[in-house]
Amino acid sequence: MFIDRVKMKLKAGNGGNGLVAFRREKYVPLGGPAGGDGGDGGDIIFEADSNKSTLLDLRYSKQLVAGNGGVGKPKKMHGADGDDVIVKVPLGTLVKDLATGGLIADLTKPGQQAVIAKGGKGGRGNWHFASARNSAPEYCEQGENGEAKEIQVELKLLADVGLVGFPSVGKSTLLSVVSKARPEIADYPFTTITPNLGMVQVPDGRSFVMADLPGLIEGASEGKGLGHQFLRHIERCRVIVHVVDMGANDGRDPLEDYRIINKELEQYELRLMERPQIVLANKMDLEGAEDNLKRFKEAYPQVPVYPVITLIAEGLDEVLYKVADLLETTPEFPMTGETETEEGVLYKFVPKAPDFTVTNLGNHQWRLEGPKVEKLFKMTDFEVESQVYRFAQSLRKLGVDEALRQKGAEDGDLVFIQDYQFAFVE
What is the phi/psi pair of residue 176, to 5°? Answer: -70, -25
| Collapsed DSSP state (helix, strand, coil) of residue 238 | coil
Contact predicate 120/145, CB 8 Å: yes
Binding residues for GTP are 165-172, 190-194, 212-215, 282-285, 309-311
Cβ contact 279:236 at 8 Å: no
Yes or no: say if 209 and 195 are a contact pair by the CB < 8 Å rule.
no
Q: Which residues are annotated as a binding site for Mg(2+)?
A: 172, 192
CA distance 182 to 180: 6
Radius of gyration of the chain (CA): 31
243 in Cβ contact with 169 (< 8 Å): yes
Note whether 52 and 88 are within 8 A (CB): yes
What is the arrangement of strands in the sheet containing 93-97, beginning at the earlier edge strand?
63-65, 5-11, 148-155, 93-97, 103-107
Beta-sheet pairing, 207-212 with 196-201 = antiparallel
Residue list for the binding site: 165-172, 190-194, 212-215, 282-285, 309-311
Q: What share of the chain is helix, strand, coil (3-state, %, to 5)?
A: 25, 25, 50
3-state secondary structure of 77: strand
